[in-house]
């Protein structure tokens, strides 16, 4: 999470959406950098609303806008699958070394997900709160130019990012049947992604 206080902007760090690269590029420009522990670095909207928002409103008497990046849902699961397939994960409980991507997505769709497929939900991470708090500015991971233009204009700085924390490249195959189930059971993920300009 990056906080730009003067610009009244908080950059939420949705896992597996390339935000580590922005953290590196903008950490010297940010007023607050939350890079650890992961529970705070990757604070979802509900956690931001509960802990960070009151701090700004009560201590600073100001309301912040929020920004987040969302990845296309199949690509997002693919990134988690590849991330958990890194060499040092072999033999660990959350490894995806011995299963196919199709089996990984199938496990993700179970009511009680096994550890290796328990990776959360972008829609849940970004879910608006009952008090009306929602992400002010949403961007697609697949359209970084739009995000960069917004940040450069808002922060009045040039942004250059390098790829970081990248999962191993590999071809992933998802059967039409499993994809259809994913789209049906997690329709909110696709609807949210499709709603981003």
Domains of the chain, by residue range, sit at: 2-195
Is it the case that residue 167 has pLDDT exceeding 90? Answer: no
Q: Pick the residue with more confidence: 177 or 91?
A: 177
Nearest to 11 by CA among 39, 51, 41, 36: 41
Strands 2-4 and 9-11: antiparallel
Class of 2-195 in CATH: alpha beta
> What is the DSSP-derived secondary structure letter of residue 111?
S
Question: In whole angstroms, what is the distance from residue 98 CA to residue 103 CA?
Answer: 10
- 30-52 pLDDT, tens digit per residue, is 999 999 888 899 999 999 999 99
Secondary structure (DSSP) of 123-151: HHHTPPPTTS---SEEEETT-HHHHHHHH
Find out whether 70 and 138 touch, Cβ atoms under 8 Å.
yes
Decide the pairing of beta strands 32-33 and 2-4. antiparallel
> Which range, 24-38, 48-62, 86-100, 173-187, is most confident?
173-187
Find the mean pLDDT for residues 12-27.
Answer: 94
Per-residue pLDDT tens over the stretch 59-84: 889 999 999 999 999 999 999 999 99
Cα 167 from Cα 196, distance rounded (Å): 25
pTM: 0.92
Specify the residue for token string 């100001």. 62
Q: pLDDT band for position 193 (50/70/90)?
A: very high
Confidence of residue 164 (pLDDT cuts 50, 70, 90): low
Closest CA to 116 of 124, 126, 106: 106
Peptide bond into 170 cis (omega under 30): no
């Amino acid at each position: 999470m990056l906080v730009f206080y003067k610009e009244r902007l908080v950059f939420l760090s949705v896992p597996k959406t390339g935000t580590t690269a922005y953290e590196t590029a903008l950490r010297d420009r940010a007023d607050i950098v939350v890079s650890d522990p992961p529970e705070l670095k990757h604070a979802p909207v509900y956690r931001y609303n509960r802990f960070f928002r009151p701090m700004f409103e009560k201590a600073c008497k100001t309301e912040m806008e929020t920004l987040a990046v969302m990845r296309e849902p199949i690509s997002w699961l693919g990134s988690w699958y590849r991330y958990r397939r890194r060499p040092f994960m072999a033999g660990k409980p959350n490894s995806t070394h011995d299963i196919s991507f199709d089996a990984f997505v199938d496990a993700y769709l179970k009511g009680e997900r096994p550890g290796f497929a328990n990776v959360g939900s972008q829609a849940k991470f970004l879910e608006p709160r009952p008090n009306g708090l929602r992400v002010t500015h949403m961007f697609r991971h697949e359209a970084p130019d739009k995000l960069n233009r917004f940040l450069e204009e808002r922060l009045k700085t040039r942004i250059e990012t390098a790829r970081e924390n990248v999962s191993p490249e590999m071809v992933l195959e998802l059967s039409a049947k499993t994809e259809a189930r994913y789209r049906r059971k997690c329709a909110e993920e696709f609807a949210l992604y499709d709603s981003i300009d």
